[in-house]
Structure 1
Amino acid sequence: MDKSRKERGQGMTEYLIVVALIAISAIAVFSNFGRTMRNQVAGLAHELVGTDSTKYGVKYAQKDAGYANDAASKQKTMGDYSSTNILSKQK
């Protein structure tokens, strides 16, 4: 195998590692702030189509941000995941 093929393979491997790290980071961010981010995007979508976003996405994003702030201030362990899960309380 010549040197250029090895370097190309190394570059592809590095690229895949970077893409994997970005994907893992995105999953972590959306798992922690997913509801708030979805509501903010919904508010932006309402603004784009001309409706008032304060009635929809922004209000819910602020509410979910409050839930996230309350949840972040509590001490948690792996054993009490279901008791601190915001989604399980809002169903």
Structure 2
Amino acid sequence: MHKFQLIRRQLGQGMTEYIIIVALIAIAAIGVYQAFGDVVRGQTATAAVQLGGGKGAQGRTVADAGSSAANTAAKAKTLKNFEK
């Protein structure tokens, strides 16, 4: 019995370590996306427009306009009008 409990405890410890590693990777990914989000959004928009047959400059213009609109909307939000 004692040997079985020891093996079970070690398996639980391994799972906990994996959960901690995944959480740290998720936090790092969120930080990178916060830092480079506009660049990623612009590149994705450019690729989507080019795949759709348009010109690459159009995708960057669309991404810049969307980013600008999102920033303006975020700054206009307060606790009074957050739910609207």
Q: Please, what is the CA RMSD of the aligned residues?
A: 2.7
Higher relative contact order (Cα pairs below 8 Å, separated by 6+ residues): 1
> In the alignment, what sits opposite 1:21?
24
- Equivalent residue of 1:2, what SS? helix
Which is greater in Rg? 2
TM (norm. structure 1) is 0.55
Normalising by structure 2, what TM-score?
0.59
Structure 2 unaligned regions, length at least 5 = 65-70, 76-84
User: Percent identity between the aligned chains?
Assistant: 42
Distance 1:47-1:5 versus aligned 2 partners, 3 A rule: farther
- Among candidates 50, 53, 74, match of residue 50 of structure 1: 53
In structure 1, the gaps of 5 or more residues are: 62-86
The equivalent of 2:42 in structure 1 is 39
Runs of 4 or more consecutive aligned structure 1 residues displaced over 3 Å after TM superposition: 58-61
